[in-house]
Amino acid sequence: MSRLLVVASLLLCISSVFVLGATPLCDYRSPLTDLSDLTLRFAYNYHNDPFGISNLDTSGGQFGVDYVRLYDSPEYGYHITMQNDITISDVDVSTYAIVADGDYKRYFASAENYFAYAGGSARSSSSFQALGLSFDLGIGYGRFTDVTPLATAVRIDEYLLRRGSLSDHLHPVDLEILAREIGSISSYDSLADLLTVVQETIESTGLAGIGGLDALDISEMTQLIQEEGFSRYCGWDVQAGLGYELLDPSGGGNDVLVAASFNYAFTTTPRAQLLIQGSISGPPEILETNRMDLTASYDILISDFMSVTTTYGFSRETWASEATDIHRVTVDFLLTPLDTADVVLGMVLEHRPYYLEWSIDVQLVIQMELL
């Protein structure tokens, strides 16, 4: 099983290197970043032994919720994350883990990246003796920016060139103009008004064919601009501070906490997104008692009908210098060969301290609309 982890790590690294070789999107600066993502996962299985042996009856399931909200303006910003993982089984150990983190930051100046922040954290787990609740204050450096408008402009350019509606790629300056207009969609009275400006901008470059863009081009641009769930962003931040533990999950006394975290987002192509998050917190004796979390995810759109998302999560809790580690690797393949058909292949590998070997869950879902 360790080989599988090595392969997964190598794939993530290779993918990241591949992305680094493309034309960057992160030079784009959006005046306002407001991104959110909510993912729900559910699976259940029940087996009734046909020979009436109750000991062979099995049932089990998994339920998960992942929520992320990122807001950043020149003056202030906030970041909220929530994870909920529940595993129920009558033949294995049932577990649950709930983590909610949030912070609000205020920049010292609208043109600067230094900020002060206030944050809070709530944690509950089947391995805890009680609910964990803490807050912290500190300073940090860094910003995030939404590059979705530029990524959408690049996707429009690629589609029009592929279809033959453009004789060559749009100039970076023209892509920047398109991105500014797409990012200002809320200032237009209607989507049709935005599409008119986008069409005029593209046709004014002289790269469009005789007669300009046709109805099919306008329809595809509309879908790309309105596409739900598509977002790309760049940036990084680091922060550190002091906090206080209102409730100790180990059942002990309240402690002063030392906390530090970092976030990193990178993309150079509309087809890929790399995200890395990490944090550590603990009392002043942080080497003996602490909690560390690390999450890395890579999302790539291989083609118009196939995408792959890979996520690695690591969590460590250290009590009295004794560490317990949890590793989780998730790989999801989404195929959409037809507008009316979806194929989802998901694989989850997880290892906990009491596991003798890695758990492997594979799920295949095929959905098709016939009428």
Q: pLDDT for 110-167, tens place per residue? A: 888 999 999 999 988 887 878 889 999 999 999 988 999 999 999 999 999 999 999 9
In the chain, what are the domain boundaries? 1-141+237-326, 148-226
Closest CA to 137 of 150, 122, 152, 120: 120
pTM of the model as a whole: 0.78
Average pLDDT, the chain: 85
User: Residue ranges of the alpha helices (H) in the chain?
Assistant: 2-20, 148-163, 172-183, 191-203, 215-226
Residues contacting 303, CB < 8 A, separation 6+: none
Count of beta carbons in the 10 Å neighbourhood of residue 179? 21
SS3 state of residue 306: strand
Q: How far apart are CA 293 and CA 62, in angstroms?
A: 21
Tokens 């949030």 belong to 102
For 304-353, what is each residue's pLDDT tens digit?
788 899 999 998 888 777 888 999 999 989 888 776 777 888 898 999 88
